[in-house]
Structure 1
Amino acid sequence: MVAIAPVGVIAADSSDPIVIPIHNWSSQIVMSNVVGQMFEEMGNNVEYITTDSQAVYESVRLGDVALELEVWEGAFGASFRTALEKGGLHDAGDHDAVTREDWWYPMWTKDACPGLPSWEALNDCAALFATAETGSKGRYLDGPVDWLKHGQERVAALGMNFQVVNAGSAAALWAEIGAAEADKKPVVVFNWTPNFAEAVWPGEFVEFPEWVDGCDTDPSVGPNPNALYDCGNPAKGYLKKAAWDGMKDKWPHAYCALTKISFTNPQIAEMAKLVDTDELEPEEAAVEWLAANRATIDPWINACK
């Protein structure tokens, strides 16, 4: 005879590990460890694997990983939408955080190029950013290649006198800013919020033509009728969670907690700071962050036991 659980009782989570992907920026790594440790508190097994930040949506869709905790609209919206259309994963809710990802400069750069944050003013000041590597063109340090920030396409679409160089990691972006700080050398790099950098180096995002839906898919959208990516990224982008469709049945308690998790800009910035400034290992940073934020996470856990 097959035992039937009483009505209203949630089935136990599988003992199989919940596979959580790890990428190449600090807040996502710490957040993944925070959530993984929450799942472990709930009695689950957790495994972490390093995964490409674009290909991860196909991995979630196929169930190779269970979830993705930082779906940034500007960086990963297109890959997320493509996977949604194929089926197998779904939107597991938004964080409270509002995101922005774009060209950015520390405030001392504005002293040398006072027309900022206008992109036209930046372009007029391109010579200030020239290096031996870029010749007469200004140097813009974009994110790692796998973040697909389309800096080169924007330069071409807007006719900018800049050369795009890709950083190898998020750490290389911070090193660029830190190296320029001593003598207040003008620099323009890819940056995003939330992260710890805004508290360390006050700065501003470059204001490009305003984002309009279709700027990345329809050449007729935006100021250049013959090019894509001729506008800035969304200034108030979402930060979502994605889940494998099978997660809610295989790990119902953990899935319940996932749908309730919603981090704020300051909370995410603190996660990154613990690694990028305080130099903790991600696992240690997660332990410290959880200890300081029990009032936030305990209700999510308790609601899903």
Structure 2
Amino acid sequence: MNTVRTVAFLGALGLIAGTGGAMAEDSADPIKIVTNNWTSQVVLSNVIGQVLQAQGLNVEYKPSDTQLQFTAIASGDMDFQVEVWEGSMAESFEKSLAGGAVDYGAHAAVTREDWWYPAYMNEMCPGLPDWKALDACAAKLATAETGSKGRFVGPPADWGKHYSERIQALGMNFQEVPVGQAATLWAELQAAYDRKEPIVLFNWTPNFIEAKFEGQFVEFPTYEPACLSDPKWGQNPDALYDCGAPASGYLKKVGSKQLEEKWPKAAGILKKVNFTNPQIAAAAALVDVDGMTPEDAAKKWIETNQDSVKSWVQ
């Protein structure tokens, strides 16, 4: 959707506020919005981009590696990211703040990222969702690729998880097999679900998956920050990562230092942006279930969430 159509659409919804002064107040340079390789992040980046365009601002979308984006934001090469997930990005996020990036606040959404399995596996592997019960069931998840080990379908490598290290730290009879993109996770899940075959894979919430498939997260040893930094913490005194991910993680926004200096109007809007779990899941579903493009999904999302968008621009 081009800028003219976006502005006209948002104007029809009454979501343009003070556009006449935006360019005089804010730089005409493009605001570089980071996009990542999962659906809700791309859609919601477009949501904010379309709102900023309607305010008379210039935007560009810049794809980035999930971890390297933080270095780019801290250095001012990119300007903001709308979905900072605690479970996979906390370490890189904290380093970026020390390097000059700015914490633009948390969303209302509560997140979780971890191993997940469909509910029918509870009968196949008694004792689930406990991780020890899953490990005892590893042979049922073995494939030609993993030999005698169970297969864990892991996320793209650049998402910064440490699941292979977790497997080793906990002495599990599993092997991680990462996918190249998020869509492959859902294809693997759908194929197994249709045949009621055992599968354990990386999943997260909020996500459209929870409305489409019945299942639950594997329960690993409870997360503590020391699990990531102190080998002596946890049941393996010689290894890090012998725990699960945060069960109630944050979802934040991060921006460059120059954002508020060059585009104060955009910075003010970003501070007010606040997504809920249902809003994020709905954003993903518009693309992954309904088949819309991210641009059109953003337009539909804005139409459905007018009250939220109005609160950002007022």
Partner letter of residue 122 of structure 1? L
In the other structure, the counterpart of 2:127 is 115
Gap runs ≥5 in structure 1: 1-8
1:130 Cα deviation after fit:
0.5
Q: Tell whether the 8 Å contact from 2:30 to 2:57 is kept in structure 1 after alignment.
A: yes
Q: Where in structure 2 are the equivalents of 1:154-193 lying within 5 Å? A: 154-193=166-205
Matched, 1:18 2:28: no
Partner letter of residue 143 of structure 2? T
| Separation in 1, partners of 2:87, 2:233 | 17
Q: Tell whether the 8 Å contact from 1:126 to 1:138 is kept in structure 2 after alignment.
A: yes
Match of 1:152 among 132, 140, 164: 164
| Separation in 2, partners of 1:97, 1:128 | 35
Match of 2:259 among 247, 256, 281: 247
TM-superposition CA deviations, 1:243-288 (whole Å, max 9, x none): 1111112100110000000100000000000011111110010011
Gap runs ≥5 in structure 2: 1-20
TM-superposition CA deviations, 1:42-66 (whole Å, max 9, x none): 1101100111110001111111111
In the other structure, the counterpart of 2:90 is 77
Matched, 1:66 2:79: yes
| Separation in 2, partners of 1:223, 1:200 | 36
Partner letter of residue 197 of structure 1? I
Matched, 1:32 2:45: yes
| Separation in 2, partners of 1:120, 1:63 | 45
1:158 Cα deviation after fit:
0.2
In the other structure, the counterpart of 1:5 is none
Partner letter of residue 47 of structure 2? V
Partner letter of residue 139 of structure 2? A
Q: Tell whether the 8 Å contact from 2:272 to 2:311 is kept in structure 1 after alignment.
A: no
Which has the larger share of helix?
2
SS across alignment from 2:275: coil
Partner letter of residue 17 of structure 1? P
| Separation in 2, partners of 1:182, 1:27 | 25
SS across alignment from 1:222: coil
1:183 Cα deviation after fit:
1.5
Moved over 3 A (4+): none
| Separation in 1, partners of 2:85, 2:105 | 12
SS across alignment from 1:297: helix
SS across alignment from 1:207: coil
Matched, 1:203 2:215: yes
Match of 2:69 among 56, 61, 65: 56
1:110 Cα deviation after fit:
1.6
| Separation in 1, partners of 2:300, 2:50 | 11
Match of 1:223 among 219, 235, 257: 235
SS across alignment from 1:280: coil
Q: Tell whether the 8 Å contact from 1:53 to 1:146 is kept in structure 2 after alignment.
A: yes
TM-score when scaled to structure 1? 0.94
In the other structure, the counterpart of 2:248 is 236
Partner letter of residue 266 of structure 1? P
Q: Tell whether the 8 Å contact from 2:220 to 2:244 is kept in structure 1 after alignment.
A: yes
Partner letter of residue 138 of structure 1? G
Q: Tell whether the 8 Å contact from 1:212 to 1:222 is kept in structure 2 after alignment.
A: no
Matched, 1:105 2:106: no
In the other structure, the counterpart of 1:6 is none
Q: Tell whether the 8 Å contact from 2:66 to 2:160 is kept in structure 1 after alignment.
A: no
Partner letter of residue 283 of structure 1? E
1:147 Cα deviation after fit:
0.6
1:295 Cα deviation after fit:
1.1
Mean alpha-carbon deviation: is it higher for 25-34 or for 293-302? 293-302
1:69 Cα deviation after fit:
0.7
| Aligned pairs, number | 293
TM-score when scaled to structure 2? 0.92
1:14 Cα deviation after fit:
0.8
TM-superposition CA deviations, 1:208-244 (whole Å, max 9, x none): 0000111111101121110000000000000000011
SS across alignment from 1:214: helix
In the other structure, the counterpart of 1:4 is none
